[in-house]
Amino acid sequence: MNIAEKALTLISLEGKVALVTGAASGIGRGIAGRLAEMGATVVLLDIDEKKGAEAAAEIIRKGGRAGFVKCDVRSDADCRRTADGAGLEFGRIDILCNNAGVAIRKNCLDLEEEEWDRAVDIMLKGVYLLSRRVIPHMIKAGGGSIINTGSGWSLKGGPDAVSYCAAKGGILNMTRAMAIDHGRHNIRVNCVCPGDVDTPMLRGECLQLGENMDAFMKDAATRPIARVGTPEDVANAVLFLAGNLSTWVTGTHLVVDGGGIA
């Protein structure tokens, strides 16, 4: 094997099966596309059937292997059906990217109880529900990699985002606990913590806050690497954590934010 072939082996996901939640748009769509480019068969999960199917079709048009499954990560029945369906169809699940999220920009006084429940159920409970259904399939396959999407606000607080900060902080420590529990199964569990990434969700936050879009995006780019992130920036970090370059990396987090919290 020459140097080029060995390098390709280190980053290749050929033969792997990956599940990505929140994959209809934004960071999730970027992750799904990157994993497919590196050879994985990717199952895109989302509640948005139209955009999810479009994202899967785009991967297929580019020569990748992908399919879409409607899955509400707040539903254990959906998570069980999705995991068992993928396990039955492909015979294995190697990679799980728990990425589904929602940003409700309100403080503790303004946030309604149902908004708290929605945020925590999608982001924190969703990681629990889908992971518990996927992990048995990873054990059967001899191991796997779980990558949870946290945030820079997993590590520090942020304004008018109490439910988001609570859920993302919980995801980070849940990642550590899962890594401890499942290392004996050869399952690695890590967390990627993005800063502001140019996605529909980020722009939706601007609208919630009633701010000027140009000023909001300019402020979001105020960091050592003076730009807002892209879904591909985060996807490249996920690729590292998913594959052979990180086989002794577990229970940790990788901040991808252009130096925003440096």
Residues classed as catalytic: 164
**94 and 135 in contact (C-beta within 8 Å)?**
no
Q: Which residues pair with 43 in a beta bridge?
A: 19, 67
> CB neighbours of 11 closer than 8 A, spacing ≥ 6?
38, 239, 243, 244, 245
Residues in the chain: 262
C-alpha distances out from residue 109 to 86, 114, 163, 190, 209, Å: 42, 13, 11, 33, 15
What's the rounded Cα separation, in Å, for the pair 95 and 89? 15
